[in-house]
Amino acid sequence: MNLQIKIHPRFHMKPLVVILLALMGIAFIIAMVRYANGIGTISNLSNSYPWGFWISFDLFTGVAISSGAFLMAAVVYIFELKKFRPLVRPSVLTGFLGYTMVVIALLVDLGHPERIWYMMIHWNHTSVLLEIGICVMSYLAVLAIEFAPVVFEGLKWQKFAHFIHRFIMPFVILGVVLSTLHQSSLGSLLLIQPAKLHPLWWTPILPILFFVSAISIGLSMIIFESTLSARYFHRGLEIHLLDKLAKVIPIVLVVYLVIKFSQLTIAGDLKYLFTGGLMSVLFWAEILIGTVTPTILFSTKRIRQSANGLLLSSVILLLGMILNRFNVSWFGITHPDPITYLPAFMSSVHYIPSLPEVLVSIGIFSAGILAFGLAVKYLPVFEAEEHHGTES
């Protein structure tokens, strides 16, 4: 077998690389300032808003958009639908990089990043955040293992690649279990704040809603990543596969809508749909953009079978669902405001992320994009089908 790695068409994006590196550099400097002088010096987080942009964007959104990996692994390895093979490696790569970005972001957001491993040895079993922490860190290891063969093939260490492939199943199952747990637990994080999260979103079945929507997000991410890669890396697009995936999305979304509106009805919170002011607007935005519109779009064959249609529809769903994550973790939350505050430095503040805060997230995200590009360039990310057609 000729195992030379074909050099894929270079992405002629040197200016892009420079920009990405610059953004990473800026983020790095800001992070260093944060480590020296405290989170408050570079962010607008405060006692009134201890969680803000970083949690909503890096944690909630970051984890959500990495949900393609476990879906593809399940489809290909558990349900043995081998034709979806070509989609596995890119989605695992996306997941791996996504979760790595989450962990890096946590290393900036945590007060004691050097103690992040405490979650592995100090366990408070009632804590949702513990579960997320353990699952994220464990799943990152699982993703590393699932992606290792790609690396090994790139290094031409075929034996190691084969070895891992043979024992991939337990890790796939573990990965699905871990992903199910923490995708839903991100919703559970809010269970302990019933008074702070607006009734349009707070419900004891938040974890279920989060999991169901995570499926739709994962599928959309696979579609999004594939269509985008095809465009920028000048490779073929497996529209027939994406079409099949896209067909599932409306089903998932309808299930989601049914659960969501049933929940609102049973809880007696339907009234907030129109009386909640800004909250109502945000809710309808997330539903219309993230659920209703994509249902219609992905139900349309013509759209499902066109590259642009797929890209556009997946972007719309992702934006809507990201809005949902932001709503649940930030926009929908009102911290208690004991009216008069003295001392003056305790006055309740409204939270708008500072520019350095946003730049840190952008920098981390840029690192992810750059890493993705490098991986695609130097590793056989898109070559599963070609080299290992007969491998199980």
Torsion angle, alpha carbons of 274, 280, 283, 287, to 10: 30
User: What sign has the CA pseudo-torsion 43, 108, 114, 134?
Assistant: positive
Using alpha carbons, select from 240, 244, 327, 267 the residue that is nearest to residue 291: 327
What whole-number distance in Å separates Cα of residue 82 and Cα of residue 103? 31
Looking at the Cβ atoms of 77 and 99, the one nearer to other proteins is 77
Looking at the Cβ atoms of 54 and 382, the one nearer to other proteins is 54
Q: How far is the CB of 257 from other proteins (least distance, A)?
A: 22
Q: How far is the CB of 178 from other proteins (least distance, A)?
A: 8
What whole-number distance in Å separates Cα of residue 226 and Cα of residue 209? 26
What whole-number distance in Å separates Cα of residue 52 and Cα of residue 388? 44
What whole-number distance in Å separates Cα of residue 217 and Cα of residue 225? 12
What whole-number distance in Å separates Cα of residue 198 and Cα of residue 279? 8
Using alpha carbons, select from 377, 381, 369 the residue that is nearest to residue 12: 377
Q: How far is the CB of 109 from other proteins (least distance, A)?
A: 8
Q: How far is the CB of 280 from other proteins (least distance, A)?
A: 22
Q: How far is the CB of 315 from other proteins (least distance, A)?
A: 31
Please report where in the chains the tokens 């509106």 appear, as a residue.
261
Helix (H) or strand (E) holding 214: helix 206-232
Looking at the Cβ atoms of 265 and 347, the one nearer to other proteins is 347
What whole-number distance in Å separates Cα of residue 146 and Cα of residue 93? 9
What whole-number distance in Å separates Cα of residue 193 and Cα of residue 335? 9
Looking at the Cβ atoms of 105 and 316, the one nearer to other proteins is 105
Coil, strand or helix at 333:
strand
What whole-number distance in Å separates Cα of residue 330 and Cα of residue 328? 6
Q: How far is the CB of 272 from other proteins (least distance, A)?
A: 18
Looking at the Cβ atoms of 14 and 125, the one nearer to other proteins is 125
Looking at the Cβ atoms of 1 and 195, the one nearer to other proteins is 195
Using alpha carbons, select from 92, 61, 13 the residue that is nearest to residue 373: 13
Looking at the Cβ atoms of 70 and 152, the one nearer to other proteins is 70
Looking at the Cβ atoms of 277 and 336, the one nearer to other proteins is 336
Q: How far is the CB of 379 from other proteins (least distance, A)?
A: 27
Coil, strand or helix at 197:
strand
Looking at the Cβ atoms of 58 and 131, the one nearer to other proteins is 131
Q: How far is the CB of 198 from other proteins (least distance, A)?
A: 15
Q: How far is the CB of 308 from other proteins (least distance, A)?
A: 34
